[in-house]
């Protein structure tokens, strides 16, 4: 089945620094990838939709200048959390749509970000 | 506002029993529905997908979809302690998936 690789699996950073999270589709091309954030005991909240070769579409309330998304190839999307603050600490998960599986969505393993 | 509603639980069932998880959705345009299982601290993993009205069975899992009632369910037969997790219902189509808040299932040995 489709595999999405996400790195790093966890990261601790100092407040004010930036963190980059990578999401790769390993055995399929993903024209669209999605970035979610999940706070403890809450559901997945869509942050943005990443389209290869174009600007990402951000959900209402998500700061596009803070959460930079780049989808430069059909197999790689990155999320950069800029000037991270403790309230950005969360579980970030990417997802890609494998069009070989009708509307199928595959998730990466997630990145636990802790900002201290 | 597209919404997917689930009872947060916890739903407790004894080992070997049938666990029934339910979900309703607001967007009639949603074409595909998914059940994901998420263990604490882990990413969701796909359990079942269903696109047509009726039942779909895969091993111990049966998904049911009723588009007229905007209702999706998941039955887990012969529940095992390893099934204890949060189950997320999601719906979508040509738009990003919308997730429910999840139902926490606890299977008691």
Place of tokens 């700061």: A63
Please spell the DSSP secondary structure of A9-44, one letter per residue. SEEEE-TT--EEEEEEESSS--SEEEEEEE-TTS--
pLDDT for A12: 97
Kindly state the DSSP code that residue A86 receives in the 8-state scheme: G
Least CB–CB distance from A102: residue in B36, B51, B101: B51
pLDDT for A79: 97
pLDDT digits (tens, 9 = 90+) for A52-65: 888 899 999 999 99
> pLDDT higher for A29 or A10?
A10
Least CB–CB distance from A46: residue in B49, B96, B101: B96
- Work out the angle at residue A27's Cα, subtended by the Cα atoms of residues A22 and A28, and round it to the nearest 5 degrees: 85
- What are the chain A neighbours of B45 within 8 Å (beta carbons)? 107
- What are the chain A neighbours of B96 within 8 Å (beta carbons)? 34, 46, 49
| Mean predicted confidence (pLDDT) in B23-48 | 91
Q: Cβ of A105 and B46 within 8 Å?
A: yes
pLDDT level of residue A35 (50, 70, 90 thresholds): very high
A63's CB contacts (< 8 A; 6+ apart) are: none
């Amino acid at each position: 089945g489709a595999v999405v690789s996400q790195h790093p699996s966890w990261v601790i950073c100092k407040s004010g620094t930036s963190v980059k999270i990578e999401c790769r589709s390993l055995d399929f091309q993903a024209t669209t990838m999605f970035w979610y954030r999940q706070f403890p005991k809450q559901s997945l909240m869509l942050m943005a939709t990443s389209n290869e070769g174009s600007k990402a579409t951000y959900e209402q309330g998500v700061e596009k200048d803070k959460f930079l998304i780049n989808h430069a190839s059909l197999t790689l999307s990155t999320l950069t959390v800029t000037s991270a603050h403790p309230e950005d600490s969360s579980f970030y998960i990417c997802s890609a749509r494998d069009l070989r599986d009708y509307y199928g969505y595959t998730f990466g393993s997630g990145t636990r970000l802790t900002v201290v | 506002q597209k919404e997917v509603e689930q009872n947060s639980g916890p739903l407790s069932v004894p080992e070997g029993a049938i666990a029934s998880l339910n979900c309703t959705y607001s967007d009639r345009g949603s074409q595909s529905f998914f059940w994901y299982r998420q263990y604490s601290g882990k990413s969701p993993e796909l359990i079942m997908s269903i696109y047509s009205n009726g039942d779909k069975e895969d091993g111990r899992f049966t998904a049911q979809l009723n588009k007229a009632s905007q209702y999706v369910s998941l039955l887990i037969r012969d529940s095992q302690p390893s099934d204890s997790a949060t189950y997320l219902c999601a719906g979508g189509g040509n738009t990003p998936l919308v997730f429910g808040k999840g139902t926490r299932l606890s299977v008691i040995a």
